[in-house]
Amino acid sequence: MPVTMNDQSGMRGAFNNGMNFAELPNDDLYSSVYAFDDDERKKPRLRESLKSSSLEAYLCSDVIQGKDEEKELLWYHGRITRDVALHFLQENGSTEGLFLVRESTSRNGDYVISLIHNGCPAHFQIQCLGDFYFRIENGPLFQGLDQLVNYYQTSADGLPTQLKAFCAGDLPPSTARRAGRTTPLHRAAMEGDKDILSKILEHDESLRGHIDSRNAMGQTALHEASARGFLSIINLLLDNDANINCKNSSGVSPLYVSCSTKHPESCQLLMKKNADPTQRHPRTGWVPLHEAVTRGYIQCAKHLIMAGAPCHPRNSSNETPMELARRYNQPSLVSLLKNFLPPAPQIPVSGYYHGPLDRSQALERIQAHGLADGVFLVRTSPHKPRVYVLSMAASASVYNFEIQTKSENLYIDDGPYFTALEMLIEHYMKYEDGLPTKLTQPIRKPSSEHDNNAGPNSRPSHRNPPSDGVRAPSCVKPPPLRSPPPTTGRKAMQPQSAVPAAQKYPPPPPRVQSVEDQERPSSPTTTQGPRAFSRILSSIRGNEKKEMDRQRRELQKAIQNVPGGGCTEDLQVIDAKQISKGKELGQGEFGTVLEGTWRDSRGHKHSVALKTLLTDHMHTSQQNEFLREAKVMCSLNHKCIVRLLGVCVGPPMMLVQELVGMGSLLEHLLNHPSEIPEGDLRLWAAQITSGMMYLEEKKFVHRDLAARNILLESNEQAKISDFGLSRATGANNDYYRATTGGRWPVKWYAPESIYYGTFSHSSDVWSFGVTLWEMFTYGDQPYGELTGAEVIKRIEAGKRLEKPKAAKETDYEMMMECWSYKAEDRPTFYQLNLSLSKEELYQGFYHAGFGQAPSKRKK
Ligand code: AMP
């Protein structure tokens, strides 16, 4: 247990400024769920800012500015394994306190901090509690990964060392941050500008951000719109899949915020759109009705209860809204809650009540209904005949909840009070409200038993008006259940949890023997002789073949499922035993690239490069990205393109490629600038255009053409590599539209790729121009230290990269043509290839035809 902290200090750490929520005066508590951002109000309106810039340019520079501004948060590395994390830590020097944060591969939703202490790595699980809180074991609770990391950057507090430098990666997921940046999406929502908001929403998430991301004040766009009563904005956001129950940094929903800011119209709309009124403030346990009532917002309270919110929910101190209304002197609200008659429940008690039944009988009846989520019945316990029990299925288990009573009210655990069983059941059919799942399908008692058991109908109905002003609806049939004798002392409240713990009796798991279990043969007990040995050997060989066939089929299926073009038929599956690994060549996006040897089934040896996917736990999406490269590459066969020889399923999974001996062109340019004659640069350039013409013919766009992705076989042969971002353009298009974020080498990208996410052969031509520039500067960084946003400004102002000293006027003219703003003004790879092969030096040497690129320089 690395973190030692008691709950008290834990809470303090979690809730800012050393303030424990329990110590907050109520007024602070009210204002804590929503506050207007004064800084934002001082800024010019979005519409004003957009007068001097297109929306695309504006969004783009905002994204880039975001990355620049939030450099200190780039410690997140996504779903990488422990081994990969270790590798990054080592690569970054293994200094004391060096760290990174990654997604847990063992528990969904959790994260891990990997750090270095005394030269050794250590890993600490960050638990994600209730989608909202984060903590390391029993350490303090934090409302976001950003807060947690920030805390441990200022003090070790239980960790073996304080967090210091980090391995640079990405920003943490926006939904796991307490607060983020206020983006144009938030601003359009805050300004109520539906026009601009709908245009922003047409853009890809990589440009406009996640719709549920929190702004600098910890509010999502939906919270901002709800706090202002902007109904059309609420509708627009919900139509675009905003999460109606998303939480702000105080842990409350847009519905809650609409009640705390007195916007009954937002409240009404959100309820109509099925917002959940049972979601609680994470510490106080208040639901929106507590908030509305305490503040005296009667319209909000009316909309809540008229749309089905329960009238008598309880907070963490067991108080109902009516008690709060009394305490805060809100007589009209007391009267509303006292006199409100909810609509008559639809399902009669006879639809699910089974009379006395023990747990195993209930289990049998529910199992007979297939254990579908939410299937339920109500019974009395044979041991406590006056206690009713709700038995329900969830996640293939059966749960039993006692339905308790207090002053003639019925309730489950810390849930709302109801005056009749039907109302309680109907509530849990509408809302989960602490149960493992919503109730869905009632199980009727078998008809043969109907008359044998005493059900609630046979009990004398209580006619006394419920105490505390809670009135039973007159139309409830059968009459409300009679209260059992008063219990002695109420059970302590449970902290809010997904399953009311005190009353949960997980039954013995239903054990159904699987086919696998039934068919598995018993282990052999006989001894084996020599004949048996050769039989075993041939059966091993047969099994190996079968295994390879199976792997091939599975791999082909997996690759076929990867979206985008390419082939699978020619894909060779290589047996891991035929591979021997050698030294490291470099680092790829998903793991190390190793030198190796592949001895094929005919015994021929090939020098290969092994691109590894460094984990067997890789996330499917990442594995897909990895396989996508294989899918593209296996349909390519050209002298100027690195060849894929096959895929080894592993683990680790590896792309087996031809070894391109001199490695990366960029490294070569940087390491040997004085040894590279200018002419070689043009030869390589010509070879690149040849490979790109071939790619064009095959209808692929590369999307990452740069010196780092050109490999040199020799001084006379360059090859295009790294097809990780390559995509098929589609039969009728000559462009590809990116729909997700990820790697985004802005400095190599054409304006239309940055603004619209469109990639074409012409945008590859723009990148080729930048690659040429890298070559003629012997590996300089394009645009030096300029940020992406600054680069875009330069391009918009008509400025381009300057002429490299080593480039002739004609070389630079070629680059400038590649950087024509309009895609249609750029040369094609065919034209580029033609003009490069016209160079006197190479005449007769370089042939532009596909598959006929030069392999030898003409002397
Ligand atoms: P990549 O993931 O393609 O960017 O590869 C990372 C690094 O591994 C490159 O920069 C090269 O140094 C090396 N590398 C990748 N593929 C090969 C290959 N086929 N032959 C030789 N080196 C390679």
Question: How do residues 182-210 score in pLDDT, each as one tens digit?
Answer: 999 999 999 999 999 999 999 988 889 88
Question: What are the backbone angles phi and psi of residue 73, rounded to the nearest 5°?
Answer: -105, 10
Residue 532 is predicted with a pLDDT of: 38
Paired strand residues for 410: 405, 418
- Residue 664 CA, ligand 1 centroid: distance in Å: 7
Per-residue confidence band for 744, with pLDDT thresholds at 50, 70 and 90: low
Q: How far is the C-alpha of 683 from the C-alpha of 845, rounded, in Å?
A: 10
- Name the residue with the closest Cα to ligand 1, atom 6: 588
Atom of ligand 1 nearest to the CA of 661: 21
Note whether 250 and 212 are within 8 A (CB).
no
- Residue 588 CA, ligand 1 centroid: distance in Å: 7
Q: How far is the C-alpha of 803 from the C-alpha of 801, rounded, in Å?
A: 7
* Weakest mean pLDDT among 293-297, 555-559, 668-672: 555-559
- Residue 748 CA, ligand 1 centroid: distance in Å: 19
Tokens of 453: 């058991």
The more confident residue out of 407 and 224 is 224
pLDDT surpassing 70 at residue 701: yes
CA-nearest of 717, 721, 719 to 709 is 721
pLDDT tens by residue, 554-585: 777 777 666 655 565 567 888 888 888 888 89
Catalytic residue positions, numbered: 704
User: Which residue is associated with the tokens 């609770």?
Assistant: 141
Per-residue confidence band for 156, with pLDDT thresholds at 50, 70 and 90: very high
Report cis status (omega within 30 of 0) of the bond before 651: yes
Atom of ligand 1 nearest to the CA of 708: 10
Side chain identity, residue 522: S
Paired strand residues for 646: 656
Note whether 129 and 136 are within 8 A (CB).
no
The more confident residue out of 719 and 619 is 719
Output the furthest CA–CA distance in the chain (Å, rounded).
Answer: 110
End-to-end CA distance of the chain: 71
Note whether 719 and 642 are within 8 A (CB).
yes
The more confident residue out of 684 and 43 is 684
Question: What are the backbone angles phi and psi of residue 296, rounded to the nearest 5°?
Answer: 80, 25
Question: Ligand 1 pocket by C-beta < 6 Å: which residues?
Answer: 585-589, 593, 609, 611, 642, 657-660, 663-664, 711, 721-722
pLDDT tens by residue, 827-845: 999 999 988 877 655 544 4
User: Which residue is associated with the tokens 């430098």?
Assistant: 165
Atom of ligand 1 nearest to the CA of 709: 4
- Walk me through the domains of the chain, giving residue ranges and CATH numbers: 74-176 (3.30.505.10), 179-249 (1.25.40.20), 254-340 (1.25.40.20), 346-472 (3.30.505.10), 560-658 (3.30.200.20), 665-856 (1.10.510.10)
What percent of the residues of the chain are helix, what percent strand, and what percent coil, each to the nearest 5? 40, 15, 45
- Name the residue with the closest Cα to ligand 1, atom 2: 588
Among 583, 585, 642, the mutation site with the greatest number of ligand 1 atoms within 8 A of its Cβ is: 585
Tokens of 420: 């009749």
Residue 152 is predicted with a pLDDT of: 95
Atom of ligand 1 nearest to the CA of 666: 10
- Name the residue with the closest Cα to ligand 1, atom 16: 609
Q: How far is the C-alpha of 259 from the C-alpha of 272, rounded, in Å?
A: 15
pLDDT surpassing 90 at residue 303: yes
The pTM for the full model equals 0.52
Q: Beta strands 376-380 and 111-117: pairing type?
A: unpaired
What number is the average pLDDT over the span 217-232?
96
